[in-house]
Structure 1
Amino acid sequence: MTRVLIIEDDKAIAEIERDFLEINGFEVFIATNGEDGLKQATSGEYNLILLDLMLPGMDGYEICKRIRGIIDIPIIMVTAKIEDADKIRGLGIGADDYISKPFSPTELVARVKSNIAQYERLTAGQSYKNEEIHVGNIRINSKTHRVYVNGEEIEFKNKEYELLLYLVTNSDVVFSKEMLYERIWGIDAYGDVKTVAVHINRLREKIEKDPSNPTHIETVWGAGYRFKV
Structure 2
Amino acid sequence: MRSQQTILIADDDEAIRELLAIYLKNEGYVLRFAKTGQEVLDVVAHEPIDLLVLDWMMPIMDGISACIEIRKTQFMPILMLTAKTSDLDLMQGISVGADDYMKKPFNPLEVTLRVKSLLRRYRDYGADQATQSGKLMFQELTLDVQTRQCQKGETLIRLTPKEFDILAYFMRHPNQVLTVEQIYEAVWGEDAFEVDNTVMVHITKIREKIEDTPRKPSYIKTVWGAGYRL
Structure 1 residue 151: deviation in Å? 1.4
Superposed CA RMSD in Å reads 1.5
- Say yes or no: does 1:22 pair with 2:22: no
Q: How many residues align?
A: 226
CA distance in 2, matches of 1:66, 1:191: 31
The code of the aligned residue for 1:149 comes to K
2:78 aligned with 1:62: no
Whether 2:225 is the aligned partner of 1:226: answer no
Distance of 2:170 and 2:95 partners within structure 1: 20
Q: CA deviation at 1:44?
A: 4.2
Report what 2:74 is aligned to.
71
Q: Which amino acid aligns with 1:150?
A: G
Match runs of 1:85-164 below 5 Å? 85-126=88-129, 127-128=131-132, 131-164=134-167
Query: Which secondary structure does the structure 1 equivalent of 2:177 belong to?
Result: coil
How do 1:197-212 and structure 2 match up within 5 A? 197-212=200-215
Q: Please name the residue that 1:49 is paired with.
A: 52
Matched position secondary structure for 2:142: strand
Matched, 1:166 2:169: yes
SS in 2 for 1:57: coil
What is residue 217 of structure 1 aligned with on the other side?
220
C-alpha deviation, 1:118, in angstroms: 0.9
Normalising by structure 2, report the TM-score: 0.93
Amino acid in structure 2 at the alignment position of 1:131: G
Is 1:4 the counterpart of 2:7? The answer is yes
Q: How far apart, CA to CA, are the structure 1 residues paired with 2:159 and 2:87?
A: 22
The 8 Å contact of residues 181 and 192 in structure 2, kept in 1 or not, is answered as no
What code does the residue aligned with 1:217 have? I
Greater than 6 Å deviation, 4+ residue runs = none
Task: Name the CA distance, whole Å, in 1 between partners of 2:46 and 2:182.
Answer: 35
Aligned 8 A contact 1:33 1:56 in 2 = yes
Task: Give the alignment's TM-score, normalised by structure 1.
Answer: 0.93
Taking every aligned residue pair, what percent have the same amino acid on both sides?
A: 37
Shift of 1:189: 4.9
Deviation at 1:61, TM superposition (A): 0.5
Once the two structures are superposed, residues 43-101 of structure 1 have per-residue CA deviations (whole angstroms, 9 ceiling, x without a partner) of 34211000001101111100111111121111111011112211110100001110111
Gaps of 5+ in 1: none
Residue pair 1:174, 1:225 contacting (<8 A) in 2 also:
yes
Distance 1:102 1:114, change over 3 A: same
**What secondary structure sits across from 1:50 in the alignment?**
strand
- Could you give the per-residue CA deviations for residues 24-44 of structure 1, whole angstroms, max 9, x where no partner exists? 221112112222122102334
In the alignment, the residues of structure 2 paired with residue 184 and residue 56 of structure 1 have an alpha-carbon distance, to the nearest angstrom, of 32
